[in-house]
């Protein structure tokens, strides 16, 4: 009986190691006792391409390059047609500890870095699904070949958090696509 109880407890502990905890309706976080799931950049290759959409009441453009040198590099620009650029981000997806991490560096419209020179924001992979990738406080849900529903958790000075949607549409007829067709 004692061995049976031990096996049941061991199985339950093993299953819970990769069970992400809900943070908001669409995002997850790792608790202190959880480890990151195994993953590679190939698991998120569906992010590659040019995207545009809406976030934070403004428009955005985002581009993800294919994996090379064990990284995926991305760029993000949030802007308003009348007010101009709000901010930029340089994005770096890396393989780390048999899992993934998303590193983000923010810049103001004048390209002044928000974080100190050596600092960046790090989102650790929390959960990987066939059509979704969840970093701690940031989730991407693939909605077909040309759409992604993203969600990010914003933390405010008073300690409260709020989920913000990020709606992506693939840019099918981008200038880079036209350039590659011209070179054929």
The string of pLDDT tens digits covering residues 148-175 is 999 999 989 999 999 999 999 999 875 5
Distance CA 41, CA 59 (A): 27
Q: Which domains does the chain have, with CATH numbers?
A: 21-179 (2.40.128.20)
Looking at residue 10, its pLDDT comes to 33
Lowest mean pLDDT among 16-25, 45-54, 127-136: 16-25
pTM: 0.81
Task: Encode pLDDT of 74-118 as tens digits.
Answer: 999 999 999 999 999 999 999 999 999 999 999 999 999 999 999
DSSP result, 19-77? -PEE-SSS-EE--TT--PPP--GGGGGGG-EEEEEEETTEEEEEEEPPPBTTEEEEEEE
């Amino acid at each position: 009986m004692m061995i049976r109880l031990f096996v049941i407890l061991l199985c339950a502990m093993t299953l819970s190691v990769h069970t992400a905890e809900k943070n908001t309706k669409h995002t997850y976080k790792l608790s202190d006792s959880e480890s990151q799931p195994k993953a590679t950049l190939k698991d998120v290759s569906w992010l590659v391409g040019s995207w545009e959409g809406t976030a934070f009441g403004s428009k955005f453009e985002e581009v993800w390059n294919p994996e090379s040198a064990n990284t995926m590099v991305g760029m993000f620009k949030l802007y308003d047609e009348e007010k101009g650029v709000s901010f930029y981000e340089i994005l770096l997806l890396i393989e780390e500890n048999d899992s993934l991490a998303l590193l983000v560096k923010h810049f103001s419209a004048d390209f002044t870095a928000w974080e100190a020179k050596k600092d960046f924001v790090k989102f650790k992979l929390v959960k990987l699904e066939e059509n979704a990738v969840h970093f701690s406080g940031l989730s991407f849900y693939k909605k077909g070949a040309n759409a992604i529903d993203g969600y990010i958790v914003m933390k405010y000075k008073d300690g409260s958090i709020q989920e913000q949607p990020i709606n992506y549409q693939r840019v099918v007829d981008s200038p880079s696509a036209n350039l590659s067709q011209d070179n054929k």
